[in-house]
Structure 1
Amino acid sequence: MKVKIHRLFQYLLETVEAEPEAIVGFSLSESPKLGEFMGDLDPELPLDWNNRDFRGLPELRTHVLRQAGLDGVLTPKDVLITAGAAEANYLAIMQTLEPGDRIVVESPGWPQAEVLAQAIGAEIVRVNRREEDGWRLPLDRMRDVVTADTKMIFVTNPNNPTGDVMDAATLQELVQIADGAGAWLLVDEVYAGLEWDGPRAPSVAGMYARGITTGSVSKALGLQGLRTGWLICPDPGLVMDAVILRENSSEIMNIMGEVIAEIALRPARLAPAMEKARAEGAANLAEMNDWVADQEHLSWIPPRAGLIGLGRLPEGLDSDAFATRLLDDPYRTFLLPGSAYHEPHHIRLGVGGGAGVNLGKGLTRVAQALKDWKDGAWN
């Protein structure tokens, strides 16, 4: 079957030419400049593949294991460098699921797995996180729906888009559920490292023989443009399947992405970069919390990790209509409607992007739009 467009991407396509003056909902840290890496780049670097390993630069894969807390647990052979976490997810899902297989996904959650599973012809079962439960993943429901014919469980941790976090004990319970069914457990960790009220959870690739960890340098480090991520799995067959599919799609990693990501993940660089991202994220999150508290018609559960969360709109206000209206004068502000995550009564609020997104201006304009909307109509 053909891959069909998801609401999240459709909305981005529809609004890409809107030229907003502010963004409320930016999902990654402020991006560094290329000049910050120039001193560590070799001008004689061949712009071919890395000429060393189809799985990615060995030193980069070593850094990936270290930042995931898997150094000494797994080896670089268990890591494949990919074009972002999106490609890592794609490779694992496409090489694992077949028509009729069951995949269990969380909702709200990153929609990619559901889009791909639908194209494959797999059976999709959603496990709903509920706002009244703090957006926690309901493990009792997970136990009910993960049966012997479940091929894969796909979740994000920290959760994208609510910012909930499964701790080590919760993740271990999820591993036991997956193991009881012999299912793959894929955990997308793109926001790992930006936890606000507790430690980083362990990576599932180090906990379970069928555990798959994916991640990237996009969110916490703001290096989305590098398109560099990874897949980690202790199962050599799964990793080789991913290598084979990538050979027939993107083929090999881009050398500039590999090299700059390797520099960015060097311990001496990573620690201060993460400290900066956490400090800026925490400050912006505090501003967002104060702003939400001042809004008569908006509420949210602050994210426990990451840079985004879901804000509940007043009764009767549809997220698509609100987001579309915000793009027009006098607001000129972009945010993502909750319909992109099966939550049509919410909007995505985010605190990333640095000064360039004009967060303060955007919040002022969103507040004005909420005031301008009265009893189902705009003033």
Structure 2
Amino acid sequence: MKVTIHKLFDYLLETTASEPPECFIGFSLARSPRLKDFLPDLDPDLSLDWNGVSFLGLPTLRQRVIDQAGLAATCTADDVLITAGAAEANYLLFRQILTAGDEIITEAPGWPQAGVMAKAIGATLCEVPRDEAQGWYLDPEAVAAAITPRTRMIFLTNPNNPTGRLIPEADLRALAALADRHGIWLVVDEVYAGLEWGHPRPPSIAGLTPFGISTGSVSKALGLQGLRTGWMICRSPGIIRDAMILRENASEIMNALGERIAEIALRPDRLAQALSRARAEGGETLDRMDRFVADQARLSWHRPQAGLIGLARLDGISGESLARRLLASPYRTFLLPGSAYGCPDHVRLGVGGGPETRLVEGLDRLSALLNSWAA
């Protein structure tokens, strides 16, 4: 079946095709470093060919992936496949695990890739709603109740995209036990891991069950989206091999330069410094956003526990109507409507990107629009 576009990407395509906005309220990744930051650690004689290097990806990078995920005691570098971002890792898993007639359980709201791929494959998507009244809590018992004999995969994000809610360790272990009991692959997209606000980083699911598959990338917490370098971690050699073969027919082998830079970025000292900077900048901006929401009569939200985005509820306004008017003159400010996640009465607020986003000015423009909405 043909792959159809999901609302989030459709809105991005539509809004970026016209005059670019001046301000952004919704950047979902940390401020991006520059190439010059990595040049001292790059060998000028580095070959950009992939010959002679593992088809799974740069071995030193794969070990860095294991180490940053805290999985050195349970996984090895051979349990990692390097991919073109977390999105490709998820794509390879959907394609190899699901077939027509299967069922996949996911969360709502959640990353819409699961719904797009389920429809394309001919699988049935079962959405378990997160409870907004309880801060977007996901009940493991509700996930358990959704399992049928046809369920082949559970797909979640942790921290949740788009609400920033964390699945705590006890609930992750309950979900891992479900996967063990039913023999279901439990895929958790962990792209925002490392940016927790006052909460411990939950353990990666690949370390909790042989059916656990963790996906991630250097895009969000490290601001290295342009490298297109991500991964999957799974203790099943069959899953890794099948994904590698499928990737050979898509993006093919390796992004040699991207993997080298990603390996440098994930070295313990560099990683700690980058995360510390991202937490400092993101935390300060999140405090500002929290105050902004509190001051707006028509906005409310549950402050994200992790990551750089959150979902805010609107009082009496359609999220898409607000976003489109804010994008037009005189406001010229980008905001992602909650309809991209199936939540039409919400908007996604983001605190990433650094000064280039002109976030403070964008919030002033949003405030002016909200105050004049009735008129």
What TM-score, normalized by structure 2, do the two folds share?
0.98
- SS of the aligned residue for 2:29 comes to coil
Q: What is aligned with 1:83?
A: 84
Counterpart contact for 2:48–2:257, Cα < 8 Å: yes
CA separation in 2, counterparts of 1:99 and 1:149? 11
Q: What is aligned with 2:354?
A: 354
Q: What is aligned with 1:297?
A: 298
How many pairs are equivalent? 374
CA separation in 2, counterparts of 1:50 and 1:223? 25
CA deviation map 1:239-263 (0-9, x unaligned): 0010010011111121111000001
CA separation in 2, counterparts of 1:101 and 1:307? 33
CA separation in 2, counterparts of 1:138 and 1:127? 9
1:73 positional shift: 1.4
- SS of the aligned residue for 2:38 comes to helix
CA separation in 1, counterparts of 2:170 and 2:139? 14
Q: What is aligned with 2:2?
A: 2
CA separation in 2, counterparts of 1:180 and 1:229? 29
Q: What is aligned with 2:176?
A: 175
Letter in 2 for 1:225: G
Superposition pairs of residues 187-202 of structure 1, within 5 angstroms: 187-202=188-203
1:352 positional shift: 0.2
Q: What is aligned with 1:45?
A: 46
Letter in 1 for 2:9: F
Q: What is aligned with 2:270?
A: 269
Letter in 2 for 1:168: E
Counterpart contact for 1:338–1:347, Cα < 8 Å: yes
Counterpart contact for 1:319–1:346, Cα < 8 Å: yes
CA deviation map 1:125-164 (0-9, x unaligned): 0001121121011222111111232100000001010000
CA separation in 2, counterparts of 1:284 and 1:160? 18
1:51 positional shift: 2.6
Task: Extract unaligned runs of 5+ from structure 2.
Answer: none
Q: 9-18 or 95-104, which moves further after superposition?
A: 9-18
Counterpart contact for 2:179–2:209, Cα < 8 Å: no
Q: What is aligned with 1:147?
A: 148
Is 1:135 the equivalent of 2:136?
Answer: yes
Letter in 2 for 1:15: T
Counterpart contact for 1:50–1:57, Cα < 8 Å: no
Letter in 2 for 1:7: K
- SS of the aligned residue for 2:145 comes to helix
1:50 positional shift: 5.7
After TM superposition, where is structure 1 displaced by more than 3 Å over at least 4 residues in a row?
Answer: none
Is 1:102 the equivalent of 2:109?
Answer: no
- SS of the aligned residue for 1:5 comes to coil
Counterpart contact for 1:155–1:186, Cα < 8 Å: yes
Superposition pairs of residues 10-25 of structure 1, within 5 angstroms: 10-16=10-16, 17-25=18-26
Is 1:71 the equivalent of 2:69?
Answer: no
CA separation in 2, counterparts of 1:141 and 1:169? 15
CA separation in 1, counterparts of 2:202 and 2:182? 23
Q: What is aligned with 2:126?
A: 125
Counterpart contact for 2:25–2:359, Cα < 8 Å: yes
CA deviation map 1:76-122 (0-9, x unaligned): 00000000000000111100000000000101001111111110000
CA deviation map 1:210-233 (0-9, x unaligned): 110000000000000000000000
CA separation in 2, counterparts of 1:169 and 1:228? 30
Is 1:238 the equivalent of 2:239?
Answer: yes
CA deviation map 1:294-342 (0-9, x unaligned): 1111111100000000111112x11111111111111110010000001
CA separation in 1, counterparts of 2:65 and 2:125? 31
Counterpart contact for 1:146–1:177, Cα < 8 Å: no
CA separation in 1, counterparts of 2:140 and 2:247? 33
Q: 142-151 or 259-268, which moves further after superposition?
A: 142-151
CA separation in 2, counterparts of 1:372 and 1:49? 57
1:264 positional shift: 0.4
Q: 141-150 or 30-39, which moves further after superposition?
A: 141-150
Q: What is aligned with 1:115?
A: 116
Task: Extract unaligned runs of 5+ from structure 1.
Answer: none
Letter in 2 for 1:179: D
% identity of equivalent residues: 59
- Provide the aligned C-alpha RMSD in A: 0.9
CA separation in 1, counterparts of 2:19 and 2:239? 42
Is 1:257 the equivalent of 2:258?
Answer: yes
- SS of the aligned residue for 1:278 comes to helix
1:349 positional shift: 0.2
CA separation in 2, counterparts of 1:44 and 1:99? 48
1:52 positional shift: 1.4
1:72 positional shift: 2.7
What TM-score, normalized by structure 1, do the two folds share?
0.97
Sort the Cα spacing of 1:50 and 1:83 in 2 relative to 1 into closer, same or farther, 3 A. Answer: farther
- SS of the aligned residue for 2:99 comes to coil
- SS of the aligned residue for 1:151 comes to strand
Q: What is aligned with 1:321?
A: 321
Letter in 2 for 1:274: L
Letter in 1 for 2:89: A
